[in-house]
Amino acid sequence: MKLGPGIAKTPLPKGFYAGGVNSGVRKYRPDVGLIVSDTDITAAGVFTQNEAKAAPVLWSQKLVPSNKIRAIITNSGQANAATGEEGIKNNFLMVKALSDVVGCAPEEVLVASTGMIGVHLNVDLINKSLPELAARVTNTAEHFANAILTTDLVPKTISTTLKLSSGEICITGIAKGSGMIHPNMATMLGYILTDAKIEAQAAHTFLKTAVDQSFNMVSVDGDTSTNDCAFLLANGASGIELKNTEDEVLFQNTVIQISQLLAQAIARDGEGATKLIEINLHGGSDLMLARKAARGLTVSPLFKCAIHGEDPNWGRILARLGAEGIPAAELNQMTLKLQGEEIFTSGAPILFDRDKVRGLLRTDSVLVEIFFPNSNNVPVVKAWGCDFSKKYIDINAEYN
């Protein structure tokens, strides 16, 4: 399983086609993307828990889970969030125009948008581009992946084949995200496509389980977007069903793995990021608290700045874990490792070679391992984030 970039072409599952074009909303890169299927798609979605939901979120969340979706359109540059009734109207005008081009009902079209909040869709430009967009779709992911980028530096795609008991299926993942990244229920924008035959409620369960262990465990800056959404799309074009429990487990684990790789790619591509940070939290008394604490570290400005400065400041880790609610009794038994080097053991600091650990932090990936007594068999919790650099401030001070 390989994650793009570095893949010449990321294949889509059978029966899926995707593309991207420049409508004129943005100057230099594609800004409208389309995923479409030859046949009806079973679709599930999860969406931002931000109360300021964008018009495309309000539209799409009413349609899924569904066994009758044909396409999903995504525009970048204009989020169509905080745009009132006009935003709702413009969203529908874009949906209706695409449904006419594709040849389906508007209710068979999902939408995602990304870009500036408070900016209305330029539906005239977007809608004029849709016939060309539909005519230029291919069975690879790259053009679509590029069309959905905002401040991202690289597209994020991944694909794999999976052998089930009755045959082989394909699963492809696509995501975007760089800033305003702290999902609460979804990724920034994420799409997982498969040609397996899956029912709508099962698709929702597979997606929700994967999101909880991947996109909901990644953060760049602690801000939950108005437009976050993730979709699982299954068109059944392979003719292969999940026949038994073994098939279901294998499929679920693969969707989790794909989602986690995409989540890591999003954190690595965080605005101004120079280092990917992975938190592995072992043990603890409560799974939800463990997830909260691990994710809390990924949003701590002090910790993120320390990692950027390659400073093994364990005090910032301890303080954040305590602030997230880890009980004192557990903190007093905690062991902490940075890049595999023990720097805090059994609730107390130890002497360690600071220069050596600083040297180990001079890399683009940093592993933080936290160990607590595991009286309740809590599984290992993983979270991903990135460092804070001066460039992050520059990007967000000048974003317009």
If asked whether residues 214 and 167 sit together in one domain, one would say: yes
If asked whether residues 251 and 389 sit together in one domain, one would say: no
If asked whether residues 60 and 186 sit together in one domain, one would say: yes
Domain endpoint, select from 210, 234, 266 = 266
If asked whether residues 36 and 175 sit together in one domain, one would say: yes
71 found inside a domain: yes
Tokens, residue 262 = 């995409």
Of 74, 187, 226, 298, which residue is the catalytic one? 187
If asked whether residues 319 and 185 sit together in one domain, one would say: no
pTM of the predicted protein model:
0.92
Would you call 106 exposed, middle or buried from its count of C-beta atoms within 10 A (0-12, 13-18, 19+)? middle
Please state at what angle helix 314-323 crosses helix 287-298, rounded to 10 degrees.
130
Q: State phi, psi for 152 to the nearest 5 degrees.
A: -55, 145
45 found inside a domain: yes
199 found inside a domain: yes
Domain endpoint, select from 266, 291, 323 = 266
If asked whether residues 313 and 171 sit together in one domain, one would say: no
> Which 3-state string (H, E, C) describes 70-100?
EEEEEEEEECCCCCHHHHHHHHHHHHHHHHH
User: What range does the domain containing 314 cover?
Assistant: 276-397
If asked whether residues 254 and 298 sit together in one domain, one would say: no
If asked whether residues 252 and 124 sit together in one domain, one would say: yes
pLDDT tens, position by position, for the chain (400 residues)? Answer: 656 554 568 999 999 999 999 999 998 889 999 999 999 999 999 999 999 999 999 999 999 999 999 999 999 999 999 999 999 999 999 999 999 999 999 999 999 999 989 999 999 999 999 999 999 999 999 999 999 998 888 999 999 999 999 999 999 999 998 776 677 766 689 999 999 999 999 999 999 999 999 999 998 878 788 999 999 999 999 999 999 999 999 999 999 999 999 999 999 988 889 999 999 999 988 999 999 999 999 999 999 999 999 999 999 999 999 999 999 999 999 999 999 999 999 999 999 999 999 999 999 999 999 999 887 888 999 999 999 988 888 877 875 5
User: Of the candidates 225, 189, 208, which has an alpha carbon nearest to the alpha carbon of residue 50?
Assistant: 225
If asked whether residues 143 and 287 sit together in one domain, one would say: no
Catalytic residue flag (residue 114): no
106 found inside a domain: yes
If asked whether residues 191 and 284 sit together in one domain, one would say: no
Domain endpoint, select from 266, 293, 311 = 266
369 found inside a domain: yes
Q: How many domains does the chain have?
A: 2
The contacts of residue 174 (CB under 8 Å, 6+ apart) are: 10, 141, 144, 145, 148, 155, 156, 157, 190, 191, 193, 262
The sheet with strand 348-349 has its strands ordered as 348-349, 341-345, 335-338, 365-371, 276-282, 381-386
Output DSSP code: residue 6.
Answer: S
271 found inside a domain: no
If asked whether residues 69 and 136 sit together in one domain, one would say: yes
The contacts of residue 262 (CB under 8 Å, 6+ apart) are: 3, 156, 158, 173, 174, 175, 187, 190, 214, 215
Round to whole Å and give the CA distance between 149 and 264.
Answer: 16
- C-alpha distances (whole Å) from 179 to each of 158, 223, 286 are 21, 8, 30
158 found inside a domain: yes
324 found inside a domain: yes
